[in-house]
Amino acid sequence: MDSGDIMLRVMDRERMVRISAARTTALVEEARVRQGTSPTASAALGRALTAAVMMGLDLKDDESITLRINGGGPLGTVLAVAESDGTVRGYVGNPGVDLPEIYRGKLNVGGAVGTEGFLEVIRDMRLRSPFIGRVPLQSGEIAEDLAYYFTLSEQIPSLVSLGVLIAPGGKVEGAGGLFVQAMPGAGDELLRVLEEWVLEAGPISSLVKWDLVRLVETIMGDIPFDILDKREVYFRCRCSPDKVSSIVTALSDEDIQVALASQGCLEIYCNFCGEVYTFGEDETRQLREGAGQR
Ligand code: ZN
């Protein structure tokens, strides 16, 4: 099904600047519904999911990237994992936490995330040991923190804009992101001009209703560019009955007894997508006996 969520990466012909843009309204709304997030939590999670899925453009087959933000604020950890195929999943520690708006329409994401901690990027390259980059949080607003990460940790001066627009009632009305990144050799002047155009264009959460190519054309002005990549993006979890069954076989006898005695069945909840897997008493026993024979 076409959710309308898409991301795009372009570069100018001289390969001095790279722009990535994404519209993620449907996937952030799916995360909100699955996790039952408050408006502030939806905004924080939505920004992280958007950033992660966009960073996924750099991944090769089978790699994944995890964005983990823990600022000691009331939301707890904000975590998003993106795969190379344009899918992303994630959660916040305390999805019900909501803070008063800073002003009307301006959610207090920075206050909810906190600044006493780090933004970490973990790139899992399967066969090799993972790459982990880590910077102290600047504002907890996520976009600013990520710009700091790109500049400091990856030496790519970047403008990062991430936006989630929440409608009255909590539904996600618009979500998206924009990265403008200077390649080695790019002059400060070029970035400065692009920054002006980005600022002029307005908040990203309202821009995402645009056609993304038109958005990039507006930012690039008369600079010729090539589209390097364009793909649909989705919220998708990697959990499955099989994977959860292997968790059931790995639990201790004691944990199983406690769960069965109190609920009459075993319930396993997936943090990433909110799915609940239920195993009856007989099924649980069969799974564990089957595992014991292997
Ligand atoms: Zn799941």
Bridge partners of residue 9, in order along the sequence: 20, 229
Within 8 A by CB and 6+ apart from 222, the residues are none
Distance 94 CA to ligand 1 centre (A): 17
Report the C-alpha gap between 84 and 56 in whole angstroms.
5
Question: Are the C-beta atoms of residues 54 and 177 closer than 8 Å to each other?
Answer: yes
Report the C-alpha gap between 268 and 91 in whole angstroms.
16
pLDDT the model gives residue 174: 92
Question: Are the C-beta atoms of residues 60 and 267 closer than 8 Å to each other?
Answer: no
CA 92 to chain centre: 11
Bridge partners of residue 62, in order along the sequence: none
Task: Count the Cβ atoms, other than its own, within 10 Å of residue 178.
Answer: 25
Distance 80 CA to ligand 1 centre (A): 12
CA 168 to chain centre: 23
Question: Are the C-beta atoms of residues 117 and 134 closer than 8 Å to each other?
Answer: no
Residue of 122, 117, 151, 135 lying closest to 52 (CA atoms)? 122
Distance 97 CA to ligand 1 centre (A): 22
Question: Are the C-beta atoms of residues 265 and 282 closer than 8 Å to each other?
Answer: no
Residue of 212, 226, 274 lying closest to 5 (CA atoms)? 212
Distance 238 CA to ligand 1 centre (A): 6
Q: Return per-residue pLDDT of the chain as tens, 294 residues.
A: 456 899 999 999 999 999 999 999 999 999 999 999 999 999 999 999 999 999 999 999 889 999 999 999 999 999 999 999 999 999 999 999 999 999 888 899 999 999 999 999 999 987 788 899 999 999 999 999 999 999 999 999 899 999 999 999 999 999 999 999 999 888 778 778 778 877 777 777 777 777 888 888 888 888 899 999 999 999 999 999 999 998 888 888 898 889 889 888 999 999 999 999 999 999 998 888 877 655
Report the C-alpha gap between 151 and 241 in whole angstroms.
41
Residue of 153, 155, 142 lying closest to 181 (CA atoms)? 155
Report the C-alpha gap between 18 and 54 in whole angstroms.
12
The one-letter amino acid at 169: G
Distance 232 CA to ligand 1 centre (A): 20
pLDDT the model gives residue 292: 61
Distance 242 CA to ligand 1 centre (A): 12
Structure tokens that stand for 259 in this block: 């769960």
Distance 270 CA to ligand 1 centre (A): 5
Strands (E), the chain: 6-12, 17-23, 64-70, 78-83, 87-92, 118-124, 131-136, 158-166, 172-182, 225-232, 234-235, 265-269, 276-280
Distance 272 CA to ligand 1 centre (A): 5
pLDDT the model gives residue 1: 46
Report the C-alpha gap between 182 and 180 in whole angstroms.
7
Distance 189 CA to ligand 1 centre (A): 45
